[in-house]
Amino acid sequence: MSDKIIIDLKNIVVSYDGERVLDRINLSIRDKEFVTLLGPSGCGKTTTLRIIGGFVSADEGEIYFDGKKINDLPAHKRKVNTVFQRYALFPHLNVFDNVAFGLKLQKLPKNEIQQAVRKMLEIVNLKGFERRKVNQLSGGQQQRVAIARALVNRPKVLLLDEPLGALDLKLRKEMQLELMNIQKQLGITFIYVTHDQEEALTMSDTVVVMKDGEIQQIGSPQDIYNEPTNAFVADFIGENNIFDGVMLEDYKVQIHGHVFDCVDKGFMKNQPVDVVIRPEDIRIVKPEESPLVGVVESVIFKGVHYESTVKCEGFSWLIHSTQCAPVGSKIGIAFGPEDIHIMNKLVPFSTNRVEGVVTEENTVEFLGVTMVRPNLGLSVDTPVMLTIDPKDIEIVSEDISDLTVYLESMVWKGAYNEMVIWTHDRQMILHSQNDEQVATDIGIKFHTENILIEPLSQGKEA
Amino acid sequence: MKKKIASAPYILWMALFTVIPLVLVIVFAFTNENKEFTVEAFTKMGQFIPSLIKSLKLALISTVICFVLAYPFSYIMSRSAEHVQRRMMMLIMLPMWMSFLLRTYSWMTLLEKNGLINRFFGLFGLGPFQMINTEGAVVVGMVYNFLPFMILPLYTVMLKIDKSVIEAAQDLGSNSFNVIRKVILPLSLPGIISGITMVFVPSVGTFMISRMLGGNENMLIGDLIEKQFFGNMYNPYLGSAVSLLLMVIILITMGIINLFDDEEMEGMMI
Amino acid sequence: MKKVASRAYVWLIYLFLYLPILVLIVFSFNDSKSTAKFTGFTLHWYTDLFRDRDLLMAMLHTLEIALLASIIATVLGTAAAIGIRSMGKAGRSVMMNLTYLPVVNPEIVTGVSLMLLFVFLGGLLGFQQGFGTVLIAHVTFCTPYVILNVLPKLRQMDISQYEAAQDLGCSPGKAFFKAVIPQILPGITSGALMAFTFSLDDFMITYFTNGAGFETLPTMIFSMVRRRVSPKINALSTLIFVIVLLMLILINIKDIRREKRERKQEKRAV
């Protein structure tokens, strides 16, 4: 890896049908670097790749290749090559002709093409397959052809769009190692897209975690794993205990009503925060040795350690430990101050506050939803502030919903999924037991009877 | 085992109404009024050779024109948004639902000496041109009638070409021209073959289009066959012999064309 | 720029396809018999049309034949497809070639061969060509299309569902109707529809097999067009066009509605 920047994305914005799929992406990629774009489906990682490949053009922003702006350069003139998601091999050509496709377009002499293709097929372990039809190959072999076809053109940058997604686990592991070797051997920049965090951590020099069209964190696999910037990254990068907490003061955090010492400071007094505690940092102790006492719900032997789930005050804790407490036993959960990672919440609030207005007697309208509240006692046209607890928003099928909203992110908080949603132009959070696909629309329903309604300005009460 | 019986009625039907009739054509081709075996009909066929050549020539020209017109159209259609594709498809199918005789009739009136097209040229002081009763008019009629039969199989096969394959070609350095030449054209070969078949075969065998647009001077082989069975030239023996010749020519042509396509003939169907 | 060019091209093709139809429609309202000069508006070609008893009869015949032929062809063809599917490789190959024969053969040859058969059998058994012979001919050329539509569906079919139905207690016959038919139904319907439209629009084969006195709409149109005297033809074309257009729009509206519904359901499922 050198320090030379080969690809530079500056403020890239892409929208489809008015929806922003990339929102101001800034990313510098160094020469010979192995960069992985990681995120759930719909996060914009493939779009970022296609921007570099030249298959999508940016609505705003600039893309530089080797210092030159290439926004308007068509795909076939770019010195990058792509390994497509489902290979995209040419079904009418055999293995040799597929690999030779790019070289023939460059009008290289025949023997040179032959040599280059041979050599490349050797690198990807497909020697002797030249005359095979591509649809007679196994998935793994097709994958190798796709890689050879791209690499034979000696691109400065190779783009790989979930190239191992269709392979089974064992083959995946093998190909991961092979790809890493090929990258080192040929000294080509790899930009790799995946939703598999393990793959990303194993293979990359740099991992770029994306969510909803935005970059969440850029860093080495170690950085990303040890110091996730927020609960989303922590959740996505591995199994973690993530809970809601409150920062009482510097070095003091409250989790589930208990106060713990920690090593973080600089938050506001009583600021709601996300707390991450890695499963392997937790020790199993005697119940009297910890304020957190729970019952072991399940134990799975994982070879090196036991994975235990412990229910404590309604929240599930995941513990990786060489100790094993039997299912049903009472244990204490212990960890040190340095094991507590405090991070800002994804949204800077922990309950929803929404403005509304009294439209009729005992009727309030907010976000286009009307609700009836008996004995409201406020006159018509009074502006009101509604406080909606995250657990009073329920996910329902769209045809019986009050509102259709966009699900931006979802993080498991031990007892519920905390979801960040968008209604119109407002972010809200809700707690739900459901698992939903992020970056899609979902229907929600308010438990209106629990909403707290207060008049916005004083003196208008009837 | 039992299931095979299900096709028995069909086999019987095809034997009765496809195989036996074709055998009859062969029998008639080699007999005369006195029910004697003879090759007399084939010796008389020399007079039909010019018509046969003309039929093949006009059908070939029409097929080529249809292909040239349909190829870009089908490509554009297959790369459009889905709802646009459906609308385009409907607009292609709509004329096919009208009797082709009526559509050909419209060309009769358009191409006439004082028809609309000549009137249009007249506005610029051109013409009138002799358009009806020419070979050109017959070709126009064939192209007009059979163009959808070229578009549909081409469109179907192009629809199956994965977008990522086209992107892969661009990625490897193909400009638009090379994408078409090196990827789309070879991949749409089955559609091209069925399109050619579906235009060429009915063009060779038609007699209505030539009768309506070609006048008496542009008799095609179909006209001559028809005349052996209806009207005062009645000679079913000669008619059968010409039909047999036509069939053999078509089947051989189809056999040769299909050599280019190693897949099964499934592309035939829309 | 590219987009403008391709759009212009698409519209040009549509202009070519629809201009003649438009001209037909406009001149159906023309006061005089001229097909080039619009002299005034009238509806009397339409009233003439509905007074033409022969034409109405022909219309009825066309519908009867199309309906009967498509029903018979669908039953015959579906059964045949199931039989073919269970045959060995050699048997299947023979059957497929037999099935493709009427599809690839020039229509005129099929027409001639059937005419020979009917004349021959008619002399032997003493019957005249008419409704029956036309029906047989139509079933003959429609059935292959049903087979070619049903076969791919049979191939895609998951045979384990048929076995599952038996496993759960259906007799083989019942399992067939409960598990197989629903799966191949789309193929059966599209085959039936294709058979119906091909029968409706057929001229060539009807022309050779209808004998004297039995007319369908296409043969009637052919004799009218040859005389080309009356704008009644234009009126007829306009009516057919409007009916087909309305039908397609109706189907399309239904399609769009269904699609919307499906999309909603899909979302709900997610």
Instruction: Select the residue of C27, C85, C106 nearest B246 (Cβ to Cβ).
Output: C106
Check whether B270 has a pLDDT greater than 60.
no
CB A415 within 8 A of CB A389: no
Give residue C196's pLDDT: 92
Give residue A245's pLDDT: 92
Euclidean distance between CA atoms C230 and B102, whole angstroms: 13
Return the closest-CA partner of residue B151 out of B95, B59, B68, B74. Answer: B74
A330, β-bridge pairs: A295
Check whether A461 has a pLDDT greater than 90.
no
* Residue A440 with chain C: CB contacts under 8 Å: 270
DSSP-derived secondary structure for A95-110: HHHHHHHHHHHTT--H
- What percent of the residues of chain A are helix, what percent strand, and what percent coil, each to the nearest 5? 25, 40, 35
pLDDT per position as a tens digit, A149-175: 999 999 999 999 999 887 888 888 989
Give residue B267's pLDDT: 38
Q: What architecture is the A352-455 domain classified under in CATH?
A: Beta Barrel (2.40)
B187 and chain A in contact, CB less than 8 A:
yes
* Residue B119 with chain C: CB contacts under 8 Å: 36-37
User: Would you state the structure tokens that stand for residue B157, as one six-digit string?
Assistant: 């096969």
What three-state secondary structure class fits A248?
A: strand
Give residue B266's pLDDT: 40
- Do residue C268 and residue A440 have CB atoms under 8 angstroms apart? no
Confidence of residue B269 (pLDDT cuts 50, 70, 90): very low
A437 and chain C in contact, CB less than 8 A:
yes
Tokens 């489906």, residue? A41
- Do residue C240 and residue B98 have CB atoms under 8 angstroms apart? yes
Higher per-residue pLDDT: A443 or C233: A443
Euclidean distance between CA atoms C94 and C97, whole angstroms: 5
Give residue A459's pLDDT: 47
Give residue A398's pLDDT: 86
Euclidean distance between CA atoms A80 and A159, whole angstroms: 7
> Does the domain formed by A240-344 have CATH 2.40.50.140?
yes
- Do residue A92 and residue B170 have CB atoms under 8 angstroms apart? no
Q: What percent of chain B has pLDDT over 70?
A: 96
Torsions phi, psi of A270, nearest 5? Answer: 60, 25
Distance between A398 CA and the closest CA of chain C, angstroms: 7
Q: What architecture is the A5-232 domain classified under in CATH?
A: 3-Layer(aba) Sandwich (3.40)
The mean per-residue pLDDT over the stretch A289-317 comes to 92
Q: What percent of chain C has pLDDT over 70?
A: 94
Give residue B262's pLDDT: 55
- Do residue A441 and residue C267 have CB atoms under 8 angstroms apart? yes
Strands A241-249 and A283-285: unpaired
Task: Identify the closest residue of chain B to C5 by CA–CA distance.
Answer: B76
Strands A34-38 and A206-211: parallel
Task: Identify the closest residue of chain C to B87 by CA–CA distance.
Answer: C252
Residue B36 domain flag = no
CB A312 within 8 A of CB A257: no
Give residue A10's pLDDT: 95
Check whether A227 has a pLDDT greater than 90.
no
Higher per-residue pLDDT: B232 or B175: B175
Instruction: Select the residue of A81, A86, A150 nearest B164 (Cβ to Cβ).
Output: A86
Lowest mean pLDDT among B4-8, C134-138, C214-218, C254-258: C254-258
Beta-sheet strand order (sheet of A452-455): A369-372, A363-366, A352-360, A383-388, A452-455
Check whether C176 has a pLDDT greater than 90.
no
Euclidean distance between CA atoms A51 and A75, whole angstroms: 10
Lowest mean pLDDT among A302-306, B37-41, C205-209, C251-255: C251-255
Higher per-residue pLDDT: C167 or C214: C214
Q: What per-residue string of b and e applies to B46-57 under the rule 16 or more CB within 10 Å gives b?
A: eebeebbebbbe
Return the closest-CA partner of residue C84 out of C184, C197, C165, C173. Answer: C184
C267 and chain A in contact, CB less than 8 A:
yes
Mutate to test the interface with B, among A47, A57, A79, A84 (most CBs of B within 10 A): A84
Q: What per-residue string of b and e applies to C206-224 under the rule 16 or more CB within 10 Å gives b?
A: bbbbbbeebbbbbbbbbeb
Beta-sheet strand order (sheet of A306-312): A283-285, A330-334, A293-301, A306-312, A315-321
What three-state secondary structure class fits C150?
A: helix
The mean per-residue pLDDT over the stretch B17-32 comes to 92
Euclidean distance between CA atoms A54 and A76, whole angstroms: 8
Residue B22 domain flag = no
Give residue A460's pLDDT: 43
Residue B203 class from Cβ within 10 Å (0-12 exposed, 13-18 middle, 19+ buried)?
buried
CB B70 within 8 A of CB B150: yes
The mean per-residue pLDDT over the stretch A201-210 comes to 94
Give residue B7's pLDDT: 87
* Residue B211 with chain C: CB contacts under 8 Å: 226
Structural element, H or E, at residue C210: none
pTM: 0.77
Torsions phi, psi of A166, nearest 5? Answer: -95, 5
Task: Identify the closest residue of chain A to B174 by CA–CA distance.
Answer: A76
Instruction: Select the residue of A76, A77, A88 nearest B164 (Cβ to Cβ).
Output: A88
Higher per-residue pLDDT: B104 or A2: B104
Please identify among residues 380-409 of chain A the ones whose CB lies closer than 8 Å to any CB of chain C. Answer: 397-399
Euclidean distance between CA atoms B248 and C99, whole angstroms: 17
Residue B33 domain flag = no
B67: number of Cβ within 10 Å: 16
Confidence of residue B120 (pLDDT cuts 50, 70, 90): confident
Beta-sheet strand order (sheet of A68-69): A19-30, A5-16, A60-65, A68-69
Q: Fill in the amino acid letter for B75.
A: Y
How many CB pairs below 8 Å do chains A and C form together?
9
Residue B31 domain flag = no
Helices A110-123 and A139-151: crossing angle, nearest 10°? 130
Euclidean distance between CA atoms C205 and C129, whole angstroms: 13
Residue B219 domain flag = yes
B178 and chain A in contact, CB less than 8 A:
yes
Check whether B137 has a pLDDT greater than 90.
yes
DSSP-derived secondary structure for A19-69: EEEEEEEEEEEETT-EEEEE--TTSSHHHHHHHHHTSS--SEEEEEETTEE
Tokens 């034409």, residue? C55
Euclidean distance between CA atoms A429 and A406, whole angstroms: 11
Q: If phi over 0 gives left and psi between -120 and 50 gives alpha, with beta otherwise, what is residue B71?
A: alpha
- Do residue C76 and residue B102 have CB atoms under 8 angstroms apart? no
CB A381 within 8 A of CB A308: no
Give residue C103's pLDDT: 85
Check whether C226 has a pLDDT greater than 90.
no
What three-state secondary structure class fits A15?
A: strand
Return the closest-CA partner of residue C55 out of C230, C211, C202, C174. Answer: C230
Please identify among residues 237-266 of chain C the ones whose CB lies closer than 8 Å to any CB of chain A. Answer: 264
- Do residue A398 and residue C264 have CB atoms under 8 angstroms apart? yes
Domain boundaries for CATH 1.10.3720.10 within chain C: 53-230
Give residue C101's pLDDT: 86
Give residue A190's pLDDT: 96
pLDDT per position as a tens digit, A75-127: 898 999 999 988 899 988 999 999 999 999 988 999 999 999 999 999 888 99
CB B148 within 8 A of CB B92: yes
For chain B, the chains sharing at least 3 beta-carbon pairs closer than 8 angstroms are: A, C
The mean per-residue pLDDT over the stretch B79-100 comes to 86
Q: What is the interface pTM, i.e. ipTM, of the complex?
A: 0.86
Range of the domain at B204: 48-268
Give residue B21's pLDDT: 94
- Do residue B147 and residue C17 have CB atoms under 8 angstroms apart? yes
Task: Identify the closest residue of chain C to A443 by CA–CA distance.
Answer: C268
Residue B124 domain flag = yes
Check which CATH number belongs to the domain holding B192 and give it.
1.10.3720.10
Q: Kindly state the DSSP code that residue B210 receives in the 8-state scheme.
A: I
Q: Helical H runs in chain B?
A: 8-14, 20-29, 40-43, 49-78, 82-96, 100-111, 116-123, 135-159, 163-171, 176-179, 185-187, 189-205, 208-209, 221-229, 236-259
Q: What percent of chain C has pLDDT over 90?
A: 35
* Residue C82 with chain B: CB contacts under 8 Å: 3, 6-7
- Do residue A91 and residue B165 have CB atoms under 8 angstroms apart? yes
A441 and chain C in contact, CB less than 8 A:
yes
Give residue A274's pLDDT: 92
Q: Kindly state the DSSP code that residue B16 receives in the 8-state scheme.
A: I
C268 and chain A in contact, CB less than 8 A:
yes
Task: Identify the closest residue of chain B to A56 by CA–CA distance.
Answer: B167
* Residue B187 with chain A: CB contacts under 8 Å: 90-92
Residue B23 domain flag = no
Return the closest-CA partner of residue A212 out of A438, A445, A451. Answer: A438
CB A436 within 8 A of CB A444: no
User: Would you state the structure tokens that stand for residue A111, as one six-digit string?
Assistant: 């023997």
- The reply to whether omega before B128 is within 30° of 0 (cis) is yes
Ordered by start, the domain boundaries in chain A are 5-232, 240-344, 352-455
Higher per-residue pLDDT: A287 or C126: A287
* Residue C248 with chain B: CB contacts under 8 Å: 90, 93-94, 97
Confidence of residue B153 (pLDDT cuts 50, 70, 90): very high
B167 and chain A in contact, CB less than 8 A:
yes
- Do residue A399 and residue C270 have CB atoms under 8 angstroms apart? no
Confidence of residue C249 (pLDDT cuts 50, 70, 90): confident
- Do residue A76 and residue B183 have CB atoms under 8 angstroms apart? no
Distance between C14 CA and the closest CA of chain B, angstroms: 8
Check whether B160 has a pLDDT greater than 80.
yes
- Do residue C267 and residue A398 have CB atoms under 8 angstroms apart? yes
Confidence of residue A19 (pLDDT cuts 50, 70, 90): confident
Distance between C46 CA and the closest CA of chain B, angstroms: 16
Tokens 């895609």, residue? C156
| Superfamily per CATH, domain C53-230 | MetI-like (1.10.3720.10)
pLDDT per position as a tens digit, A382-440: 899 999 999 999 999 988 899 999 998 899 999 999 999 998 788 999 999 988 888 88
- Do residue C267 and residue A437 have CB atoms under 8 angstroms apart? no
CA distances for A184 relative to A71, A150, A188, angstroms: 29, 16, 8
Euclidean distance between CA atoms A184 and A186, whole angstroms: 6
Instruction: Select the residue of A53, A90, A102 nearest B173 (Cβ to Cβ).
Output: A102
A246, β-bridge pairs: A254, A272
Residue B229 class from Cβ within 10 Å (0-12 exposed, 13-18 middle, 19+ buried)?
buried
- Do residue B175 and residue A76 have CB atoms under 8 angstroms apart? yes
Q: Kindly state the DSSP code that residue A268 receives in the 8-state scheme.
A: P
